[in-house]
A and B are shown apart, each in its own frame.
Chain A
Amino acid sequence: TLPAAVRSSPYNSTEAHTDWASAISYNNFYEFGTSKDAPLRNAPQMALRPWRVRVEGLVNKPREFDIDDLLKLAALEERVYRLRCVEAWSMVIPWLGYPLASLLKAVEPQGSARYVEFVTHYDPAIMTRRPVLDWPYTEGLRLDEALHPLTLLTFGMYGEVLPHQNGAPVRVVVPWKYGFKSAKSIVTIRLSERQPATAWNKSAPQEYGFYSNVNPQVRHPRWSQASERRIGETRRRPTLMFNGYADEVAGLYLGMDLQKNY
């Protein structure tokens, strides 16, 4: 169980939550299989304790956290966020966590740190050995994106501990970017000066850029991103710039060509 969480964030979406059954059975977690229902079946084999998270690289206080200590580093908040997958479906999920900024400030990033890399758990004994992506799965953010108050270090959802397939025991949630940017089951957080390589970008750079901000005007090379299907609804709805978080995050990208930096 998780400590009690503050439940009124100004960032909360007021839209109806996606039903729990859909949120735990329709997942992309390719280490456990590439069909949407495979993670529900296979991910429970992943042992969640003991679990340690190393925070390293360009920080003054590198540290290895036990997951139960990490959980108590800051007060948990409930954040109801839209989740937009690059495959053009979306959900609304009440996450439980605290801003990643709280952790990053605790380890004191050095002045030269510009990027944050997330390395996720990979255990070939229980995960696929086929090189679908370059395992372990890695993701990354620019430091200012990682420090943005919307970026959530997440331990639970719907008032419960994160289910295995949703990225237990700890993941990030970056609601203005396509879902794959929100790395699951994190074991290392590394601060660096140079932009880290990320799994999908390595796999297909022309399709998945480092930024991968939700942007209805930049089409995926193989499909339009102008609309999405909200899980539970039958008709498509228009996709919003930055997944509806433009007021909060557009400032991070001032002066950048988002067609080029997709």
Chain B
Amino acid sequence: MSLRAPTPLQLLAIKALLLLLCLVPAGHLAAGWMHGTLGANPIEAVQHATGEWTLRMLLLTLAVTPLRRLSGLHWLLRLRRMLGLITFAWACGHLLTWAWLDLWLDWTAIAADILDRPYITVGFAAFALMLPLALTSSTAAVRWLGGRRWQALHRSVYGVAILGVVHYWWLVKADLLKPLLYALVLAALLGVRAWWREQERRRQLAAAAPPAPGRFKGKVIRIVPK
């Protein structure tokens, strides 16, 4: 198979394989829950695992565009929707663990958590921002919104990622190593976009406005034949 241009069938196989791979941690977690091997505090273990997998999948989703650009493998973009939806599924699992397993759907406690605990406020905000993205993930939704508006809406994924990392950062007691690693990966993923954007802006500026004659500020080198 050609890595540059897989056939539709090959692409389908790649997607299926990736989906299976992404299901492994979920299966592992479910098996651990059923067999009681998640340690002394299984609810907390599920809470942490679903939260971390949401962040990991979100960062992987955000890595698609840079990876595509660096590798030139444009079909990578075709995996992004699936990765985004898997991220959303983990986020739903994370939210349900908190609201259902931890708080037993006690709505007063849930509301108090959202209002009182800053890390839950930002975590909940991140989830709320994800909702419209998941709802408009279909091709029909892209057509209905129009490419430009769809893209503008889906840029809020950057906000979701920042809120997600802040959510993790704020809940840790003393050892910030892990949230710091997630923050650094996110900074790299956002930083490379900002940098490319700046390069593009300069290129366009240079193309639109060629330097006026007489205002040349560079150093003139005379080449004098000997």
Contact = CB atoms under 8 A, between A and B. Distances in A.
Interface of A: 21-23, 25-26, 30, 34, 36-37, 87, 89, 130, 132-133, 200, 203-204, 219, 222-224, 229, 231-232, 234-236
A253 B41 CA distance: 33
A223 B117 contact: yes
Contacts of B112: 224
Given A219-B116, A224-B112, A25 B174 contact: no
A231 B40 contact: yes
Given A200-B174, A232-B40, 8 more contacts: A25-B39, A26-B39, A34-B175, A89-B41, A224-B112, A234-B101, A235-B104, A236-B103
A132 B117 contact: no
8 contacts: A21-B40, A22-B39, A30-B174, A222-B170, A224-B116, A232-B40, A234-B43, A234-B101
Given A34-B174, A133-B174, A204-B174, A231 B116 contact: no
Nearest to B171: A222
Nearest to B104: A235
Contacts of B44: 89, 229
Contact of B40 (A36, A223, A235): A36
A224 B43 contact: no
Contacts of A22: 39-40
A26 B40 contact: yes
Interface in B162-187: 170-171, 173-175, 177
A21 B38 CA distance: 12
A205 B81 CA distance: 45
Interface in B110-126: 112-113, 116-119
Interface of B is mostly: helix
Contact of A26 (B41, B104, B177): B41
Contacts, number: 52
B41 A231 contact: yes
Contacts of A200: 174
A192 B118 CA distance: 38
A162 B182 CA distance: 37
Contact of B177 (A23, A25, A130, A133): A130
Contacts of A229: 41, 43-44
Contacts of A132: 174-175
Contacts of B43: 229, 234
A88 to B, nearest CB: 10
Contacts of A21: 40
Contacts of A130: 175, 177
A39 to B, nearest CB: 12
Contacts of B116: 219, 224
A222 B40 contact: no
Contacts of B175: 30, 34, 130, 132
A222 B118 contact: yes
Contact of A36 (B39, B101, B103, B117): B39
A37 B39 contact: yes
B117 A203 contact: no
Contacts of B103: 236
Contact of A222 (B39, B41, B119): B119
Contacts of A223: 117
B117 to A, nearest CB: 6
B197 to A, nearest CB: 35
A92 B104 CA distance: 23
B103 to A, nearest CB: 8
A232 B175 CA distance: 26
Contacts of B119: 222
